[in-house]
Amino acid sequence: MAKKKPITAQIKLQIPAGSANPAPPVGPALGQHGVNIMQFCKAFNDATKDKEGIILPVVISVYQDKSFDFIVKTPPASVLIKRAANLAKASSAPGKETAGEISMDNIEEIAKQKMPDLNASDLDSARKIIMGTAKSMGIKVV
């Protein structure tokens, strides 16, 4: 078993899939830790080119020798909910005004997709989390 390199930093960013570039927020976040920014951008864009246009959270681990690796997470629930409800943005006054509607089938689909990143033990719990997110966005579940 290979000896693990000590991690000096862990950077969390949200980047549109397939379009990472050295401009902010990527460049400054990685530059201050001495990471090769272009190398990260190429690796991220190659890994996410099939999900073009979706904002993806990424966790970048920077090691002592300035090398790095990264884990791409599933898209935020709010992005998936807005996409399923065909909305550009959520309600500005959730609870008072409804921005749109989403079906239980869509909720279940989103819950299955988000399952690896959610703090839920089963699909029913994941559905409740997604329904809560939709409610907080002013989107009615039908």
pLDDT in tens, 114-133: 888 888 788 888 888 888 88
Q: Which percentage of the chain shows pLDDT scores above 90? A: 0
With CA atoms as reference, report the closest residue to 85 among 130, 117, 24: 130
pLDDT of amino acid 1? 44
Task: Match 């997470």 to its residue by tokens.
Answer: 73
Max Cα distance, the chain (Å): 57
Q: Which residue type sits at 95? A: G
- Dihedral pair phi/psi, residue 67, rounded to 5°: -80, 170
List the chain domain ranges: 7-72, 77-141
* Shared fold status for 7-72 and 77-141: no
pLDDT score, position 122: 87
pLDDT at 61 over 70: yes
The C-alpha angle 75, 79, 80, rounded to 5 degrees, equals 75
**Fold category of 77-141 in CATH:** Arc Repressor Mutant, subunit A (1.10.10)
Q: Which backbone phi and psi does 114 adopt, to 5 degrees?
A: -85, -10
Q: Supply the mean pLDDT for the chain.
A: 82
What fold does the segment set 7-72 form as a domain?
A: Ribosomal protein L11, N-terminal domain (3.30.1550)
